[in-house]
Structure 1
Amino acid sequence: MLVVLIGGALVWFFVGPMWGLSTALVGMIGLIVIQLSYLLRLGDWLDNPTSVRLPDGWGAWTEIFSRLYRLRRGDEKNQAELAEWLARFRQAMTLLPDGVVIMDDVLFLEWCNPAAEKHLGLSLSKDKGMRVTNLVRSPEFMDYIILGRYETPLTLAFRDRKLIVHIIPFENRRQILVTHDITESERIDMMRRDFIANASHELRTPLTVINGFLEIASMEPNLDAQTRLSHLKLMTEQGERMQRLVEDMLTLTRLESMDHPIRPEAVNMRVLLDKILQEAHALSAGRHEITLEFDGPDILGSTDEIRSALINLVTNAIRYTPEKGTIKLIWKNYATGPKFIVQDNGIGISAEHISRLTERFYRVDKSRSRETQGTGLGLAIVKHVLLRHKANLAVESTPEVGSKFCVQFPITAIAPVEA
């Protein structure tokens, strides 16, 4: 403005007052137009403030736009950092095994991670903005919300799962709902309790027999020799049964332990199966026709563990096949890998029992199992040995017709042939 006034004064002095005033007026109008144009550009930039679109300035506007640029660059940097931290947070929440649901103060869903979607049946894309109590329909959950005693977690059975649910208020208008799935731990705990109960029951029976005979011997020291020998024989049988049970439990414990990894070795299957065949004939004592068909390779694995698994299958076939029955042992290589098959024409197994055969202490016929000196852990040992060798067990059986147990080893288990 000072420059315009000085210019107008000079024109006034040299040309005349009319020209001087006209020059000053045109100059002032030009200044106003320039200022208005910059104000218009500033307003347009404020509608979408990015550092790339910031206009250049003239005069005092240079400093203004320079300061705005520095402020905007700082804001963009902070936003980028916040966006990065938010992305990391969401990624971390996505990988959490526990469910996390963020709600407002009236329980409307704002965000949840995949674990929460799985636990509670939510869908962030569909359910966002909806009330969580309308999505999780459970009387126990509603009571927990209404009572508002959030200091104590809620144990909730929901959608075939058992969850621990905990609501944590934070900020003034938000709450976090955390869910922890304890279904598997409850199942494992139930298995542990069942195992202890079954093991105690199995051990109690032989101990009761042994203690009973010892009590009789102490109260009646003058028993005849035949009765005494009969009692000693029964006590010996029960002691051996208890020893087998303890050995099987220790074997299972070792198989499940991470401290005992497999040390693969080349297993000579011809030698191993010949020994198993000899043991099978000894156990059968001529009551069954047992044959071996061998047409397969050697494999890599633990000789002792594989022997334990295969002999358990053969022993079961002998125990549950009536006298004069036939048992076929087959070791053959297939396109899917080597396979060991035990086929008998014994009493067979009903379909409803097949899926539970490898459970600990599970018996299809408890009385027959005890008569044949079974511990109820043989097929559980087979299952764990095969898991360690990446093999699997398939069972086909028809009552009164017979059973077929197939152990499928992977192709990678075949031992390389030495040159």
Structure 2
Amino acid sequence: MNPKLLFWVPAILRLSFVLVGVGILWYFFGPIAGLLAGLLAMCVLLVVQLQYLYRLAEWLDEPSSSALPDGWGAWTDIFSRLYKMRRGDEKNQAELTEWLARFRQAMSLLPDGVVIMDDVLFLEWCNPAAEKHLGLKLDRDKGMRVTNLVRSPEFMDYIILGRYDQPLSLSLRDRKLIAHIIPFENRRQILVTHDATESERIEMMRRDFIANASHELRTPLTVINGFLEIALGQPKLDAQTRLAHVKLMSEQGHRMQNLVEDMLTLTRLESVDYPLRPERVNIPALLEQVLQEAKALSAGRHDISLEVDGPDIKGSTEELRSAFGNLTSNAVRYTPGQGRIEMTWRQTAAGPQFEVRDTGIGIRPEHISRLTERFYRVDKSRSRETQGTGLGLAIVKHVLLRHDASLTIESQPEQGSCFAVKFPQKVVWGD
């Protein structure tokens, strides 16, 4: 039915009843009684309308579908419509609230920072990554200008110039950030920050690795090529000189081969396509093999001992042999003749532990934190003498990472060093 009819028909009927009643009273009791009755009826209707208007005004101050009053007459339809409208609004608001909560949760999990600002750069919202990147605090800084919170000349220039088509490289809070402002809507802007610190570090390590590897390979190749040129240019060299040249070329060839093998080992350890396949590691047999290799390298110049008093563990026998062998061979290389090297495998309260303790030349404190870097050498000349590749401790670090183990180093110059590999209790075989 037409909404207008729904409003006017009941109203006309109510007025008709009032007029009929007034007419009846007029007929039986006279005009004064009829008029007074009609006036009273109209006053009652007016009071009822005013009461509903007052209740409607109260409800509009705090609209809620549960608090909507019941109506009478035309007010029934009015309140019914308001109820449906309010229920729709509440449903839409609940959906918007849910979507907003999902959006904020999703933004909170992003590794990149997200800052929502108005057209004059006042902070409206940011996720935890942005707080970490830019030093913001949403509860504290909401409503403040972002340019007053991020104190950086490069960022200020980026904002002033307004060239948002290109991202900004920003050094802030000891981090390398990539910032990008994206305008959206008419009065909103999004600032996105990406932490490129790790990417920069990896890229720098890659460049250093290539440069160092090229340098390390160049030396033996230069020696080999030099002697070959001598051999070609002077075919009548005496046998003793030729033998000395061949011996040096052989040493450099072995050095180059060891370097390539260590680089391949590092690549394999870092590859996600080469996961660790745990097996039972026979520790006494493995360490006995490491001991024999150390004695062969020492050639009787050192007192080398081994003590095993601990359990077998889960892991890769080959990888652990490489790690333990590198630690032991380093001890042999950097310990003068007649020195002592002690290898120990024991069970501790925290888990199994392997130690290599020597009476060698020791390491100054400023070098200890960098020992596991690729090609890092405390004394380059001594490393060349001992035929080290500079990758041994880097291999040790990656092997231990794959076994959830850690390496601690204690050393004093001219007194010796202690390299301790600590495994968690969970790697013990049978646990």
- Superposed pair shares fold, TM > 0.5: yes
1:187 aligns with 2:193: no
Q: What secondary structure sits across from 1:165 in the alignment? A: strand
> 1:94 aligned to 91, 101, 108, which one?
108
> 1:362 aligned to 357, 366, 376, which one?
376
**Deviation, structure 1 residue 14:** 2.0
1:227 aligns with 2:241: yes
Task: Tell which deviates more after alignment, 1-10 or 195-204.
Answer: 1-10
Deviations 1:244-283 (A, max 9, x none): 0000000011111111111111111111111111111111
> 2:310 aligned to 265, 283, 296, which one?
296
Q: What secondary structure sits across from 1:297 in the alignment? A: coil
> Which residue does the alignment assign to 2:9?
none
> d(CA) in 2 for partners of 1:260 and 1:238?
30
Question: Superposition pairs for residues 113-152 of structure 1, below 5 Å?
Answer: 113-152=127-166
> Which residue does the alignment assign to 2:54?
40
Counterpart residue identity of residue 233, structure 1: K
> Which residue does the alignment assign to 2:290?
276
Task: Tell which deviates more after alignment, 134-143 or 53-62.
Answer: 134-143
**Deviation, structure 1 residue 15:** 2.3
> Which residue does the alignment assign to 2:251?
237
Q: What secondary structure sits across from 1:26 in the alignment? A: helix
> d(CA) in 2 for partners of 1:70 and 1:21?
41
Deviations 1:82-109 (A, max 9, x none): 1111111111111111111111111111
> 2:278 aligned to 257, 264, 268, which one?
264
**Deviation, structure 1 residue 16:** 2.2
> Which residue does the alignment assign to 1:168?
182
> d(CA) in 1 for partners of 2:167 and 2:419?
47
> d(CA) in 2 for partners of 1:296 and 1:265?
17
> 1:396 aligned to 377, 389, 410, which one?
410
> d(CA) in 2 for partners of 1:139 and 1:52?
55
Counterpart residue identity of residue 302, structure 1: S
Q: What secondary structure sits across from 1:152 in the alignment? A: coil
> d(CA) in 2 for partners of 1:145 and 1:268?
63
**Deviation, structure 1 residue 175:** 1.4
> d(CA) in 1 for partners of 2:139 and 2:291?
62
Structure 1-normalised TM-score? 0.98
> Which residue does the alignment assign to 2:300?
286
CA RMSD of aligned residues (A): 1.0
Q: What secondary structure sits across from 1:162 in the alignment? A: strand
Counterpart residue identity of residue 347, structure 2: N
**Deviation, structure 1 residue 125:** 1.2
> d(CA) in 2 for partners of 1:146 and 1:188?
33
Question: Superposition pairs for residues 287-326 of structure 1, below 5 Å?
Answer: 287-326=301-340
Q: What secondary structure sits across from 2:180 in the alignment? A: strand
> Which residue does the alignment assign to 1:155?
169
**Deviation, structure 1 residue 193:** 0.3
> Which residue does the alignment assign to 1:246?
260
1:335 aligns with 2:327: no
> d(CA) in 2 for partners of 1:98 and 1:263?
34
Deviations 1:313-341 (A, max 9, x none): 00000000000000011111111111111
Gaps of 5+ in 1: none
Structure 2-normalised TM-score? 0.95
Task: Tell which deviates more after alignment, 13-22 or 358-367.
Answer: 13-22
Deviations 1:324-360 (A, max 9, x none): 0000111111111111110111100011111111111
1:49 aligns with 2:63: yes
Percent pairwise identity = 74
Deviations 1:341-386 (A, max 9, x none): 1011110001111111111101111111110110000011111111
Q: What secondary structure sits across from 2:177 in the alignment? A: strand
Deviations 1:116-162 (A, max 9, x none): 11111111111111111111111111111111111111111111111
Task: Tell which deviates more after alignment, 6-15 or 219-228.
Answer: 6-15
> d(CA) in 2 for partners of 1:262 and 1:111?
43
Counterpart residue identity of residue 397, structure 2: K
> Which residue does the alignment assign to 2:388?
374
Counterpart residue identity of residue 123, structure 2: L
**Deviation, structure 1 residue 68:** 0.9
1:14 aligns with 2:28: yes
Moved >6 Å (runs of 4+): none
Gaps of 5+ in 2: 1-14
The number of equivalent residue pairs is 417
> d(CA) in 1 for partners of 2:276 and 2:162?
53
